[in-house]
Amino acid sequence: MQASGILDEGVRRRPTGPVLFCGETRLSYPEARRRIHRLAAAFSRLGVEPGERVAILHRNCHRFFESYFAALHCGAVLVPLNPKLAGAEMKTVLEDAEASLVISERSMFLGLAPLFKRLPGLRGILWTGPIPPFDNPLFRSYEGEIDESPDADMAPENPPDDAIAQIYFTSGSTGIPKGVMLTRGNLMAHVERVLPDLAIDSRTTWGHIAPMFHLADAWAVWAVTAAGGTHSFLPEFSAAGALALLESGNAGMTNLVPTMIHRMLREEGVESRDFSQLKLLLSGGAPMPAETVLRIMSAFRCEYVQTYGLTETGPFLTLSRPDTAMKHWPIAEQIRIRCTTGRPMRGVEVRVVGEDGEEVPKDSKSVGEIQARGPTVSPGYWKRPEETAAAFQDGWLKTGDLAVVGREGYLSIVDRKKDLINTGGEKVYSLEVENALAAHAEVVEAAVVALADPDLGEAVAAAVVLKEPHRATPEELIAHCARHLSYFKVPRTIRIVTDLPRTGSGKVLKRVLRERLASPAREPT
């Protein structure tokens, strides 16, 4: 099956009944396909040629779903945009992508419209919503363009597997977004692997809770459709909204980032709610400590699996799902496996390589860099040949993530390579310190970075979010760490904060956090 055939497969498996639930909108797969074909025809009518870029700036919605498939159908390249980007950043991304068309909902359009005249390659903007924002022939109605298109099936474009399907611009944790190219072959390879590994089928109900502009959720657009499953859309995340969707029965499976789960667990009465229809909760973006995993399984009473991957890997590389032989293990041992980063998915090669260039032993101690190759891995970065050459060597993607490998072959991340702390000649992995802090009863989450130190070179520093303000002091948290860690791993500085700076996909922006911790606290801690 080619990428353009995924939607037809969904129609074949579920020819009747609603499968898209978005606010008051209910669509079956045949109804969605009709709208998608008409939207693809509108793209072509507006001058979008195969290979040209169509950007989308939108909250989670059935229209986001339609745009992904319409771009696939007419051979265009979809470029999902992070709504949190500032105007200058948005302009940079649109210029770099050379987008010819943008889809935007009204609230986001108002910030995008001033850029229009400064982007000569942009030929039009499709806005969603009932009221036109401006009287300009270049600003067109999304629904109006669908209505004007012929109500007939449009033959799909079928570019080769190595043709680009999407470009995802990194969230800028390094400060400079890069466009990660994913091909149509990458997309299909991931679908073929994730369906059996996660047991996704026509009974699956997926909750689009994480942002659809990011692969944390976007992969499910194709995988769940290929299986004939059901999609429910939460426009934007709130703990209350996410919990309500999971309780509704329309989201039996979803993938969240840790900060979302932390906020949901902090909602009053979460453990007494009815999540009987929730079958599987996935999380990725950062490892979860054992204490949090136990709280998740207690509150949601469903299977929990950690995932690991990058935008460059389409996304998943590993899953922390215990294999069949482990079902008879003691619960504590099964929890240990679920707390790992996971074991490689079928058909994807993953190795952990030490500084000597050799794979590290499976001893849960020897640290190396995770490297990956396989049909789901990106061919590189959009218009960045030097950065592509640096990251992809001898067919392997160098992820920059440091990990150990356990005796069962499951990986556990210990740090980002660039975040490794060298204090007084000793190596400190930030995740170990973060886990020690997370074990404190009053801590919701913590992030650890290195600060410049005239004596040690680098000193361990941490920012901590508490369940309730003033329930613990920095001195108490330092003493707690001293009871669990070697002396050189204990943070020299701890600052209590209300939240952590994050990327659009929920990852902690350690670059920004480092700057904040290096500055004097504005409020007494």
* Cα 339 from chain centroid (whole Å): 19
Write out the two tokens for 489. 């791993």
The 3-state secondary structure of 430-491, one letter per residue: HHHHHHHHHCCCCEEEEEEEEEEECCCEEEEEEEEEECCCCCCCHHHHHHHHHCCCCHHHCC
pLDDT, block means (10 residues), the chain with 525 residues: 91 96 97 96 94 96 98 97 82 91 84 73 84 71 92 85 95 69 97 96 97 95 98 96 95 92 91 95 85 90 94 95 90 91 94 94 95 96 95 93 94 88 87 90 92 88 90 94 92 93 78 88 52
pLDDT of residue 173: 46
Residue numbers of the domain that contains 128: 3-183
Query: Which amino acid is residue 12, in one-letter code?
Result: R
- At 524 the pLDDT is 43
Q: What is the pTM of this model?
A: 0.87
Helix axes 290-300, 331-338, angle to 10 degrees: 110
Q: Are residues 78 and 122 in the same domain?
A: yes
Do 171 and 67 lie in one domain? The reply is yes
Please calculate the CA angle 377-379-384 and round it to the nearest 5 degrees: 130
- Tally of structural domains, the chain: 3
Contacts of 172 (CB under 8 A, 6+ apart): 89, 503
Helices (H), 483-520: 510-518
Q: Take residue 180 and report the two structure tokens written for it.
A: 């990660």
- Sheet of strand 457-466, all strands in order from the earlier edge strand to the far edge: 443-453, 457-466, 493-497
Backbone phi and psi for residue 309, each to the nearest 5 degrees, phi listed first: 175, 180
pLDDT given at position 402: 92
Residues 239-258 as b/e (b if ≥16 CB within 10 A, e otherwise) read beebbebbbeebbbbbbbbb
Q: Cα dihedral sign for 247, 251, 255, 257?
A: negative
Report d(CA 333, CA 359) in Å as an integer.
25
pLDDT of residue 417: 85
410 with 434, same domain: the answer is no
CA atoms within 13 A on the CB side of 409: 11
Element (H, E) at 281: strand 280-283
Residue 272 shares a structural domain with residue 370: yes
**Positive or negative torsion for Cα 398, 399, 403, 404:** negative
Which among 360, 386, 416 is the end of a domain?
416
Alpha helices in 79-148 (DSSP H): 87-97, 106-112, 142-148
User: Residue 450 maps to which CATH number?
Assistant: 3.30.300.30
d(CA 438, CA 419): 19
For a pLDDT cut of 90, what percent of the chain falls above it? 67
Whether residue 447 sits in one domain with residue 359: no
- Structure tokens that stand for 407 in this block: 């005796």
**End position of a domain, from candidates 155, 183, 211:** 183
Q: Are 202 and 224 in contact (CB under 8 A)?
A: no
DSSP3 helix / strand / coil % (the chain, rounded to 5): 35, 25, 40
CA atoms within a 13 Å half-sphere pointing along the CA-CB vector of 245: 26
Q: Is residue 225 part of a domain?
A: no
Could you tell me if residue 467 is inside a domain? yes
The CATH number of the domain where 400 resides is what? 3.40.50.12780
CA–CA distances in Å: residue 142 to residues 36, 75, 113, 157: 12, 19, 16, 21
**Is there a single domain that holds both residue 389 and residue 446?**
no
- Stretch (H or E) spanning 223: helix 215-226
pLDDT of residue 525: 42
Residue 141 burial class via C-beta count within 10 angstroms: exposed 0-12, middle 13-18, buried 19 and up:
middle
Give residue for tokens 């960045």. 384
Same domain, 149 and 174: yes
- Measure CA 341 to chain center: 15
In a domain? residue 173? yes
492 and 366 fall within a common domain: no
Q: Is residue 524 part of a domain?
A: no
User: Looking at the domain assignment, is residue 286 inside a domain?
Assistant: yes
Task: For residue 401, tell me if it sits in a domain.
Answer: yes
Last residue of one domain, picked from the residues 183, 200, 220:
183
Q: Provide the pLDDT for residue 125.
A: 86
- Quick check: is 190 in a domain? no
Q: 317 and 171: one domain? A: no
| Cα 491 to Cα 341: distance, rounded to the nearest angstrom | 25
Asked whether residue 376 falls in the same domain as residue 461, the answer is no
Could you give the CA distance from residue 156 to residue 40 in angstroms, rounded to a whole number? 9
Could you tell me if 165 and 296 lie in one domain? no
Residues 389, 441: one domain?
Answer: no
Model pLDDT for residues 479-489, shown as the tens digit of each residue? 999 999 988 99
With respect to residue 208, please indicate whether it lies within any of the assigned structural domains. Answer: no
CA atoms within 13 A on the CB side of 441: 1
